[in-house]
Structure 1
Amino acid sequence: MCLTLEGNLMSLSRNAAYENHLRIARAFNAHDVSELLVHYTEDVLFQDFGSGASCNGKEELKSLANSWYESIPDLALEMDTIHVAANVTLGEWTLRGTMHGAPPWLPGGLSIDAEKFAVRGACVLAYAPDGRVCHERDYWNLADALKQLGIQQIKRVNQNEKR
């Protein structure tokens, strides 16, 4: 069960929520997917609005995390601020790395080798009563990352249009 801001406030203390957010960031930076997943409920809903990725459950989140680490081996998250409100934490961060390959968010099956990027973003983590994350929403600017990777224009193709 995931509590929403409209639901009952949970008993997770402000310090515990803040520490949970930091532990998740540490596991992310260690590229330790097993440790990262400990902090999420089995039915977690993960939505990345920068990449368009959405995961339902730990297995899908595990697959997504592994694909990021494979294509960006030095991927690092620098937490700038963490705010705690009711049963959520809000984090502002900078994501940095060097692209080697093709993460799932790179359009058109493009592959990039040895290009560095740094993109600012924010996340909202909602916690279940047991203190694990049940819903995460990440927000970042894909266009900014693509520009840094040397991709200036992407033509969207409507699959329904006749060619």
Structure 2
Amino acid sequence: SDSCSQIKALLGDYDAIHVRRGDKIKTRKDRFGVARSLHPHLDRDTRAEFILCRIAKWVPPGRTLFIASNERTPGFFSPLSVRYRLAYSSNYSHILDPLIENNYQLFMIERLLMMGAKTFIRTFKEDEADLSLTDDPKKNTKLWQIPVYNAEETC
């Protein structure tokens, strides 16, 4: 869409990450009252300090980083600004507001913006060649595991 080209022009040369949290990080308690998740590393891997560590090898400092996410906590990704210039679709609401009627339309525009990035990092790996924030599989996990929060490697 034309609005998409306008935003791309404003972003210039940029990279993008899609950070899926919300629905995907929910836990449920087992019969012993222990919280378990289908994606045991996802909550950790999608926090700013872990994202910084993970993407350092793919996205050089000083780059513009477009972030698309269903995380609603204000300032959640702010720690990434120590290394990157952060951009969100909400920065372009003057362009998008007149056009967007629902979340689905917003996601379609965000998708086009992510696809237009020089380097695009997904939440989950979908193809072998994909860069991803987590190594947890996206689908077909029936195993509810205890979430892991500690770092396994140093940055």
Q: TM-score range by the shorter chain?
A: under 0.3
* TM-score in terms of structure 2 length: 0.26
Which of the pair has the greater relative contact order for Cα pairs under 8 Å at 6+ separation? 2
